[in-house]
Every structure is written in C-alpha cells, then in structure tokens.
C-alpha cells in the first residue's frame, strides 16, 4: 500500500487532495502518515479520522489540547507546533503534498527532499524564496519534485523530456483575476472583499488576492524559472480569461503543445498523485463546443506591476526571490489588515527589493535555510518600515 502525507490538509488544495484520496478508497487504498493544519482543529481531526492517519499536527501550539480532545478515542496521534510539522515531514512516506500557504511551507518541503522523497509541490513560495536550495537538495538526495501549480503541472505534461533543449519558450496563462476589466483609476480603491473573489478558480483567500494583483502570476514566472531552469526571455505570460488553456510549450520547429482542462485543481493534484500513470480522475471533461470560444490578451504591466518585478527578480538572482516572496507576504498581510491600499502592495515590494539590493551578499543565492529566513525577516521589516513612514491610509 502506498503511504502519503498532506501538509496543509485543511486548505483549499488540501481539501481537493483529501477528496481524491477518499474517492480512491481512503484508508483501504492509502496508508496516511501525516496530515497537518494551521488552526482548523475540527476539520483536521475529521480528515485524520477518515483517513486513519498515523499523526495529525496543528501548527498553532495553543491548539494541542483541542486537537487531542477532537481525536479522543481514535488511534491518531496528536501534535502541535512548527517543530512537530518539521518532524512529521521527516517521517517516510511515498508521496507528500506540500500545500501549506506561504513561507511556512518551505521547511517541510525541504525536509521531504532531504529524505529523498517524492514531493508534490503546490507551495510555489518555496521555489520562489529558495529555488536553488530546494532544487540542489533534491538532486543531491535523489528526490522527485512534481509540480502541482496548475500551469506548471501543465508545462510538465507538455514537456517532451527528450527534447527540452528544443524548447523555444513556454507560456503560462493568467485569468487576469478579479480586476482584469476594472478601469485603472478604480484599482486604488479596491477592497479586500472585492479582491477575494476569483472569476474562475475556487482557492484560498491569499492566492485569490494574489491573482487580482497578478502577484500570483509573478510568483509563477519565478517558479517556472527555478523549476524548469528557463531564463526570462523563454517564459511568457498570456492573459486568458476563460482559464481553459493552463500552459503551452513552443518548440524550435514551430509546434506549440498546449494543456487544456477545466479549472479544477483535482487534475493537477491527481496527476501528481498517480504520476507517471494517468488514472481516472473526478474532473469534468472539457466541452469546447459549449464554451464556443477562448480569448487571449497581452499582459498589461501598468495594471500589474508585479509582473515587471518578477522579471527583475529573475534578472537579479541571488537573494531577490527570498526578498520578493517575503515582502509580498508582508504587503498582502498589510492590505488584508487595512494598513495599505491594493495598489500599494507592488511599491512596498519594490522598496524591499531596493533595500535588499543594498545589503551585502544580495547577489548570492542563499545556500542554507537560515540564510533564506534571514532575508525573509529583513524584507518583512523593510515593508513594515516603508508603511510606518507613509502613515495609515485614510
């Protein structure tokens, strides 16, 4: 029986993975080693009981008692805290999904590759903040990383592994998010609620707001650069409001292979779960006649400065990814808390990148986790200082 672990089980990606595992037979088909959550004790306990997990870990230590109570009478072990998540990631499992949101996903993902495991990676932040470290550790320990972000899963599926050097460029699509049709001068007054609704995908709140600001696509451009070792000029972004084509690979002979499917994360998660097989998945088949047409637009860097910043991060290399990721997370926290406007997020991140570039060793890729975390903390402080200097938004 295959063993699996899911980090971030209580989130949007985690729920989709749980659905796939249950439909595939649950504890009859898979041995679940570890499931983790952030604060949602009730749902974590429910999932752990259903899959008969060996251990359930909640990241908030104050919730250990509540988790123990919720698991009373079951065989599932309860644990809490960052170090317990770290320990759970070191437990052997054949397949591990990294679906924690944000930089908290970095350490568990790294532990999985360091034990030579198979890491299904939804947490794009790990590749943005620490791509060279994660990829080097993966090679060193003979690990396998399978992309779960839908565009990268699509690229992975379109890439003819024998002809990677014949790739002319790749294209990842973007829906354009909640504000793609808003007049530019309205963007500065966009509220958290408005930014939290996605036209096509049902996802966690943070990635949904990142889709509206295009920071999500910016992260994905960097993710493609790190994972597929492609330079800026070989990664293109195309706005495709219907979210049916997820990515395309254009070869030197002029052929372009595209990956199409309905916007349902269970495809990308299920593909990674069954790889290299293609097992049946509960994803509705595509009905192109019903859709009628697919449309495309060039990305607008005035509307979405995050895309320009992503290009600069790739050109700079070194610690720029760690700074970009952390500054973006901090700016997003500040937008959600009402401390800055929607349109302040990109200038806040740009400020942190400028400050980072002035510090020693910015040009060197962090080779250790501690170095990544130090750049992360400095970037968050730089964003906070930028906001404090400007005062509250009225």
Which stretches of the chain bind ligand NDP, using CB under 6 A? 8-14, 37-40, 59, 99-101, 104-105, 122-125, 149-150, 201, 203-204, 206-207, 265
Which one, 86 or 94, has the nearer CB to ligand NDP? 86
Is 97 in contact with 5 (CB distance < 8 Å)?
Answer: yes
Rounded distance between C-alpha atoms, residue 258 and residue 170, angstroms: 10
- Residue 86 CB, nearest approach to ligand NDP (Å): 11
Which of Mg ion, ligand NDP, none interacts with 59 (beta carbon under 5 to 8 A by kind)? ligand NDP
Torsion of CA 201, 203, 206, 210, to 10 degrees: -20
State the binding partner of 14 from ligand NDP, Mg ion, none, CB within 5 to 8 A by kind.
Answer: ligand NDP
Instruction: Specify the residue, 89 or 355, whose C-beta has the smaller distance to ligand NDP.
Output: 89
Concatenating the DSSP letter of every residue in 40-84 gives -HHHHHHHHHHHT-SEEEES-GGGHHHHHHHTTTSS-EEEESHHH
Name the residues that contact Mg ion, by CB under 5 A.
149-151
Residue 278 CB, nearest approach to ligand NDP (Å): 20
End-to-end CA distance of the chain: 58
Q: How far is the CB of 47 from ligand NDP (least distance, A)?
A: 10
CA distance linking residue 92 with residue 114, whole number of Å: 11
What angle do helix axes 82-90 and 106-114 make, rounded to 10 degrees? 20
Q: Considering beta carbons, is residue 88 or 248 the nearer one to ligand NDP?
A: 88
Select the binding partner of residue 157 from Mg ion, ligand NDP, none (C-beta < 5 to 8 A, by kind).
Answer: none
Distance between CA atoms of residues 209 and 196, nearest Å: 5
Q: Which residue is nearest to Mg ion (CB)?
A: 149
Cβ-based nearer residue to ligand NDP, 11 or 131: 11
Residue 123 binding result from Mg ion, ligand NDP, none, given CB thresholds of 5 to 8 Å by partner type? ligand NDP
- Looking at the Cβ atoms of 41 and 247, the one nearer to Mg ion is 247
Residue 5 CA: distances (Å) to CA of 21, 36, 52, 64, 338: 11, 8, 12, 20, 36
Distance CA 282, CA 26 (A): 15
For the CB of residue 181, give the shortest distance to ligand NDP in the complex, in Å. 22
- Determine the residue with CB nearest ligand NDP: 11
User: Quick one: residue 391, left, alpha or beta (phi over 0 = left, psi -120 to 50 = alpha)?
Assistant: left
Residue 221 contacts which entry, ligand NDP, Mg ion, none (Cβ below 5-8 A, type-dependent): none
- Nearer CB in complex with ligand NDP: 38/356: 38
Of the pair 88, 320, the CB lying nearest ligand NDP is at 88
Neighbours of 76 (CB within 10 A): 22
HSE at residue 279, side-chain half, CA atoms within 13 A, is 16
Q: Least separation, in Å, of the C-beta of 303 and Mg ion?
A: 19
Minimum Å gap between C-beta 260 and Mg ion is 15
In whole angstroms, the minimum distance from the beta carbon of 157 to ligand NDP comes to: 15
Instruction: Please choose which of Mg ion, ligand NDP, none residue 270 contacts, taking the beta carbon within 5 to 8 angstroms, the exact cut-off set by kind.
Output: none
Q: Is 285 helix (H, G, I), strand (E, B) or coil?
A: coil
């Amino acid at each position: 029986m295959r063993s699996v672990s899911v980090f971030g089980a209580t989130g949007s990606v985690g729920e989709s993975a749980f659905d796939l595992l249950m439909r595939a037979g649950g504890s009859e088909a898979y041995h679940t080693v570890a499931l983790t959550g952030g604060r949602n004790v009730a749902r974590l306990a429910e999932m752990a009981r259903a899959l008969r997990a060996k251990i359930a870990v909640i990241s908030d230590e104050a919730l250990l008692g509540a988790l123990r109570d919720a698991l009373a009478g079951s065989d599932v072990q309860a644990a809490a805290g960052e170090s317990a998540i770290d320990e759970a990631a070191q437990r052997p499992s054949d397949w591990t999904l990294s679906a924690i949101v944000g930089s908290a996903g970095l350490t568990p993902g790294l532990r999985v590759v360091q034990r030579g495991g198979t890491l299904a990676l939804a947490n794009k932040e790990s590749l943005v903040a620490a791509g060279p470290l994660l990829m080097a550790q993966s090679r060193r320990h003979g690990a396998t990383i399978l992309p779960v972000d839908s565009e990268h899963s699509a690229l992975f599926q379109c890439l003819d592994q024998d002809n990677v050097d014949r790739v002319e460029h790749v294209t990842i699509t973007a829906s354009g998010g909640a504000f793609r049709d808003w007049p530019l001068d309205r963007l500065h007054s966009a509220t958290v609620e408005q930014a939290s609704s996605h036209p096509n995908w049902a996802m966690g709140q943070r990635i949904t707001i990142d889709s509206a600001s295009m920071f999500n696509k910016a992260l994905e451009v960097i993710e493609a650069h790190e994972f597929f070792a492609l330079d800026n000029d070989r990664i293109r972004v195309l706005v495709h409001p219907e979210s049916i084509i997820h990515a395309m690979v254009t070869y030197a002979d002029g052929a372009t292979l595209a990956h199409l499917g309905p916007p349902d994360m269970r495809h990308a998660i299920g593909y990674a779960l069954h790889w290299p097989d293609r097992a049946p998945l509960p994803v509705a088949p595509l009905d192109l006649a019903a859709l009628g047409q697919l449309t495309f637009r060039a990305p607008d860097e005035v509307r979405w400065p995050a895309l320009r910043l992503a290009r600069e991060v790739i050109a700079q290399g070194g610690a720029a990814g760690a700074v970009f990721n952390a500054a973006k997370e901090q700016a997003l926290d500040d937008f959600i808390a009402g401390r800055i406007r929607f349109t302040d997020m990109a200038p806040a991140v740009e400020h942190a990148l400028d400050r980072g570039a002035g510090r020693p060793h910015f040009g060197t890729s962090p080779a250790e986790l501690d170095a990544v975390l130090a750049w992360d903390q400095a970037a968050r402080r730089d964003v906070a200082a930028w906001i404090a200097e400007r005062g509250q938004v009225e």
